[in-house]
Amino acid sequence: MNKPLGYLREILSNYTDRSDTAEGIYKRIEKYDYDTEISFVRTLSEKEVSFLNDILKEEIEHANEEQDEKRSHELNEVYELLI
């Protein structure tokens, strides 16, 4: 699996019980083997992009606070394509 999408899937698992959007994105990542982050991002609806923009900001900030540079970098790879 693509590393940035693997990290994204991991954080989405924390949201699937309270968000249908998160669950849908999570299942899509699980079902399809995307070669690149851009191929994944191109499949997202505006609602999904907005949702990811919101949670990725927080998750990247959290990774930075925890000094988890790898996680921060991988999540930022996806985030940069959304904005």
- Predicted confidence (pLDDT) per residue in 15-64, tens digit: 999 999 999 999 999 999 899 999 999 999 999 999 999 999 999 999 99
According to the model, what pLDDT value does residue 29 have?
95
Annotated domain spans of the chain: 3-82
Only one residue has tokens 């394509």, namely: 81
According to the model, what pLDDT value does residue 83 have?
80
Confidence of residue 1 (pLDDT cuts 50, 70, 90): confident
34 and 6 in contact (C-beta within 8 Å)?
no
User: What's the pTM value of the predicted model, to 2 decimals?
Assistant: 0.90
According to the model, what pLDDT value does residue 4 have?
94
